[in-house]
Amino acid sequence: MSDNVPETKLTVSKRRWAEEGKFLTGKITRSETDRLPPGQHLVKNWPVLDLGQQPRIQPAEWALQIIGAVENPVKLDWDAFLRLPQSSKLSDIHCVTTWSRYDNRWQGVSTHDLLDLVMPKPEAKFVMLTSYDGYTTNLPLGDFASEDGILATHWEGEPLTRDHGGPMRLVIPHLYFWKSAKWLRRIDFLPGDQAGFWERNGYHMLGDPWREQRYTHD
């Protein structure tokens, strides 16, 4: 593993789940009214999952760097980030560990507005997300640019807490939540796909919960 993250009981367990195909149901159908993907169960709380460390980043120390195949690479400090257009989103979230939570209210900068700022070049097809804890994950550019995508600073009207990725995290609700990187510090726009931390450890390169794309071999 090249990411600078510790080995924990969670990482060992989740790597074993990928090898065993744990939680897979084989169901890939979805009705027009069904909100719960196959193999998921509904929760009211918001479980906390991470790689064993929760970086403490004060807004005055925080920065987001956006580099790679973009016309306007930038490094935004907290004040500059808050000066970008602000949006609100309502979405469900689905974790690969089988829990889902409905109707989460987010505030922050939509990924559409961020893309308008940096202007991806024609060769940009993917993004790689890097977090303050060393975590990485990949996304196709089209999924990063989804209508509900948001760089969230608030949840349910309150600033994001440290354990849930504050001061800012990505939210891409139509994919499993490991794709929604916490404590985001860098976005690289790339011409080709690259595996992030969990993708190198047996998890799917895309992670669509409706197709049960939990693991590499799905």
Q: Model confidence over 202-217: pLDDT tens digits?
A: 999 999 999 999 998 6
Residue 164 lies in a domain: yes
Return the pLDDT at 76: 98
Q: Where are the alpha helices (DSSP H) in the chain?
A: 9-20, 78-82, 111-118, 141-144
Q: What is the mean pLDDT of residues 124-140?
A: 97
Q: Model confidence over 15-51: pLDDT tens digits?
A: 565 565 654 555 555 544 589 999 999 999 998 876 6
The set of residues, in sequence order, having a beta carbon less than 8 Å from that of 92 and lying 6+ positions away, is: 35, 100, 101, 102, 103, 104, 173
Residue 44 lies in a domain: no
- Find the domain containing 142 and state its range: 61-211
Residue 167 lies in a domain: yes
Q: Model confidence over 71-84: pLDDT tens digits?
A: 999 999 999 999 99
- Tell me if 189 sits within 8 A of 107, measured CB to CB: no
Return the pLDDT at 32: 47
Does the structure show a pLDDT above 50 at 144?
yes
Residue 37 lies in a domain: no
Residue 38 lies in a domain: no
Residue 40 lies in a domain: no
Query: What CATH number is attached to the domain comprising 177?
Result: 3.90.420.10
pTM (whole model) above 0.75? yes
Residue 53 lies in a domain: no
Q: What is the mean pLDDT of the chain?
A: 89
Strand partners, 140: 126
**How many structural domains compose the chain?**
1
Q: Model confidence over 148-197: pLDDT tens digits?
A: 999 999 999 999 999 999 999 999 999 999 999 999 999 999 999 999 99
Q: What is the mean pLDDT of residues 99-115?
A: 98
Q: How far apart are CA 103 and CA 89, in angstroms?
A: 9
Residue 13 lies in a domain: no
